[in-house]
Amino acid sequence: MPDGPRTLVYNRKVPFLGKKGKNVDLCLLRCEPTDVVRTIKSPNSYIALGELKGGIDPAGADEHWKTAYAALSRIHRAFGDLHLEPHTFFIGAAIEEEMAVEIWDMLEEGEFENAANLTDDDQIASVTHWLCSL
């Protein structure tokens, strides 16, 4: 079980991801909900960061994945520069077969730790359980 409080925040600017800071769809922080504003500035407080792409149009799925992958790469670089390795994950609503193969390969290679199809209840339950276990 996790040690200490956890708070999941959505669509938040992460101050050290580039000059202006970039929004990250999902951030699991080591803090109480009342401490988010202070904690979000501390790189050591990040447990997991994830990208959520909810578009359901299969024709746009590849573009959503490319955007998410770029964001996850940016997260890895920024935290890597700080010698930190928070968990990373991807959740998408439109995942085409070719994308699924690429995502699976990246999971096996350890490029990020979890992924789920937003339209599959079992996969969402699995990623939710994983987040709660961190």
Look at the chain and report how many structural domains it folds into.
1
14-39 pLDDT, tens digit per residue, is 988 876 667 899 999 999 999 999 99
The domain in which residue 66 lies consists of 7-133
Indicate the pTM of the whole model: 0.87
Residue 20 lies in a domain: yes
Does residue 54 form part of some domain?
yes
**What is the spatial distance between Cα 36 and Cα 6, in angstroms, rounded to a whole number?**
10
- In a domain? residue 2: no
pLDDT band of residue 63 (cuts 50, 70, 90) is low
pLDDT in tens, 84-94: 999 999 888 76
Q: Tokens for 78?
A: 């920024």
Give me the amino acid identity at 120. Answer: D
6 close to 134: Cβ distance less than 8 angstroms: yes
**Neighbouring residues of 6: CB distance < 8 A, sequence distance ≥ 6:** 28, 29, 30, 31, 47, 134
